[in-house]
Amino acid sequence: MRIAQEEIFGPVATIMAYDSLEQAIEIANDTAYGLSACITGDPAKAAAVAPELRAGMVAINNWGPSPGAPFGGYKQSGNGREGGLYGLKDFMEVKSISGLPA
């Protein structure tokens, strides 16, 4: 369905049925986008699923990033982060220096 394949901004919830946890993860990851995901239910089970989702932000039994958390997505939802330590590092320049005396 188009609504499951595109980034929808607005007060919209897409609800789809699945037969297994593996199928649910596959459905969630089967999109060119990955800004955010929301998992509801048993927090321990949700915590095991969260790393499997190709999304920049995953909320468990709530919505919205924690204050100070990095904001950004995966895939065509953007590269890089805003906010938090990772967002700050985007504005820094890194230098490697080798061969210094001990």
Bridge partners of residue 58, in order along the sequence: 37
Q: Encode pLDDT of 55-79 as tens digits.
A: 999 999 998 777 778 888 889 887 7
- Tell me, what's the pLDDT at 100? 79
Question: Which residue ranges form the domains of the chain, and what is each CATH number?
Answer: 2-89 (3.40.309.10)
User: What local confidence, expressed as pLDDT, does residue 32 receive?
Assistant: 93
pLDDT in tens, 4-15: 888 888 888 788
Q: Report the distance separating Cα 51 and Cα 80, nearest Å.
A: 18
Flag whether the pTM goes above 0.85: no
Could you give the CA distance from residue 12 to residue 4 in angstroms, rounded to a whole number?
A: 11
